[in-house]
Amino acid sequence: MDSLLHWTEQLLPVAGWTALTVGFYLLAKRVYRRWSRWWLMPLAVAPALLMIAVLALHESYRDYIRGAGWLMLMLGPATVAFAVPIYEQRALIRRYWPVLLVGMVAGSATAVAVSWGLASLFGLDESLRLSLLPRSISTPFAMEVSADIGGLPDLTAVFVVMTGVLGAALGDVVLAWLPVRSALARGALLGVAAHGAGTARAHQIGPVEGSVAGLVMVLVGLLNVCLAPLLVSAARLAAG
């Protein structure tokens, strides 16, 4: 009887916070479908509603994550899911991989340089600056890189998500302004700059854009994990 009570106590927050997270997400999606404003993006609205709920119930971030944190683990199988569109666009990728590689390296270098430059300009402290560096790659990679280079992984996760939300919205603006005609460039733009959220947007624009964004997102993450040790020595050198 006691153990049953114990189990209920353990399961209740998991069920409750998970249901609330999924519920707010579905609601936010419906709202966005009705009024498509960029600031109504589900990735902005759902967390905002949840934050209000957490604060209203006098709970903490730790209570919430203990309940709904397992949802973040599902980014693992979501990464596996990219195998399908990548496989289906293999002919395209085989043909254009040098172009995509050049774009990825240029984009990643820009991400690191601009983040570091502006963060230094604003006088942010070192752990914050390092946490900002891997923000344009997808969460699992970014947290890995952040830990490697001496940033704070949970902060990096927040920056990654902010980058995704803003990136998916900014993507439309940039695509309207820049003279990019090829689907390859449109996909790469969203995949390199706005990882998962950008890729989701790219899938809405078209199948080629979506596959390219998914591939590029994964490869940029990989590239950054491999280059992280180099990155940190460069950053240290720049910091003097």
Partner 1 sequence: MTAHALARQLRIALRRSRLVQIGLLVGFWLAGEAVVRLTGLPLPGGLVGMAAALALLGSGLVRAGTLRRGANWFLAEMLLFFVPAVLAVLNHREFLGLLGLQILLIIVLGTLAVMAVTALTVELCCRWGIGGHGQPSALD
User: Which 21-40 positions form the footprint of partner 1 (CB under 8 A)?
Assistant: 21-22, 24-25
Please give the Cα distance from 8 to 123 (Å, whole number): 48
Chain positions 164 to 183 lying near partner 1, rule: CB under 8 A, are 164, 166-167, 170-171, 174-175, 178-183
Say whether residue 42 binds partner 1 (CB under 8 A).
yes
* Residue 220 contacts residue 199 (beta carbons within 8 Å): no
Report the run of H or E that residue 24 belongs to, with start and end: helix 2-34
Among candidate residues 52, 48, 32, the one with its CA nearest the CA of residue 40: 32
For the chain, the distance separating the N- and C-terminal CA atoms, rounded to the nearest angstrom, is: 63
Chain positions 196 to 215 lying near partner 1, rule: CB under 8 A, are 196-197, 199-200, 203, 208, 210, 214
Say whether residue 222 binds partner 1 (CB under 8 A).
yes
Least distance from C-beta 39 to partner 1, angstroms? 13
Say whether residue 184 binds partner 1 (CB under 8 A).
yes
Instruction: Please state whether 150 falls in left (phi above 0), alpha (psi between -120 and 50) or beta.
Output: left
Site map (CB under 8 A) of partner 1, residues 72-111, x = contact: xxxxxxxxxxxxxxxxx-x----xxxxxx-xxx-xx--xx
Least distance from C-beta 237 to partner 1, angstroms? 21
